[in-house]
Amino acid sequence: MRLEDKTVVITGAASGIGRETARRCAEEDAHVVVTDVDTAGGEDAVAELEEIGAEATFYELDVTDSDRVHEVVDEVADTIGLDVMVNNAGTGHPGDSLEDIDDGVRDFVIDINVNGVWNGCHAALPHMKEQGHGSIVNVGSLASILGLPKQAAYSTTKAAVLNLTRTIAAEAGPYGVRANAVCPGFTETQMLEQYLETQGDPEAAREAMAEQYPLKRLGEPEEIANSILFLASDESSFVSGHGLVVDGGFSTC
């Protein structure tokens, strides 16, 4: 078991990539700490994990609330330990030109996608440094490496996540702490569904999107979760400061 006797904290774990990551980590014998603003979804995720015999705990958590993030991470670290921190919680915004994106939308996306990841790292690092080991996995995006048109705020935040990850790897490496990012392409999640609903004909938009990928399909949450699991586990023990692109070949085109 790749995560036996390890505790993994995952933000935004009530659905999508976060929920699949929770399941995969549980299957590898981790104690999974599910966190999300969605209490019903988070509790349902924990119930699912317990059904397969996993140890799982839920905390209601808004990642933009720095004090609450520290409170949760401190409690977990002090009671059951902290080996892996997966900063997955994120949000998008409707497609629009930069000059037409409302300041409130921009600030909302930055608060969750940048400050939320910062808060998770800020809370986890002291514990990991003190114990001399730990793995931080931040969820970036294809937008971490490519400027996506009509996605200026989102692209800005995901580029920030990747460079923050690299900085943490450089700073925390001497303490035995690794930091990496996963950069997925478009993945079949609720956030993608919400985006497609704004496109008039969602199915046509999905097909057109898939055609842009060499594999001619979009990603599945489990495929991204498997990549997160790799970076969380000791199988990637000499990997740090890396942005693992999981995009079906899109960025090669």
Tokens at 211, concatenated? 């055609």
**CATH classification of the domain holding 49:** 3.40.50.720
Cα(10)–Cα(22) distance, integer angstroms? 7
**What's CA 75's distance to the chain center, in Å?**
21
Does residue 196 fall inside a structural domain?
A: no
Phi, psi (degrees; rounded to nearest 5) at 160: -65, -40
Question: CB 244: neighbour CB atoms within 10 A?
Answer: 18
Indicate the number of domains in the chain.
Answer: 1
| pTM of the shown model | 0.95
Distance, in Å, from the CA atom of 113 to the CA atom of 90, rounded to the nearest integer, reads: 5
Decide if 228 is inside a domain.
yes
Q: Is residue 59 annotated as part of the catalytic site, yes or no?
A: no
205 domain-assigned: no
**Annotated catalytic residue within 59, 154, 195, 213:** 154
In a domain, 212, yes or no: no
Flag whether 206 is in a domain.
Answer: no
Question: What sign has the CA pseudo-torsion 68, 14, 89, 193?
Answer: negative
pLDDT along the chain (253 residues), means of 10: 96 97 98 98 98 97 98 98 98 92 97 98 98 98 92 96 98 98 91 79 88 94 98 98 96 87
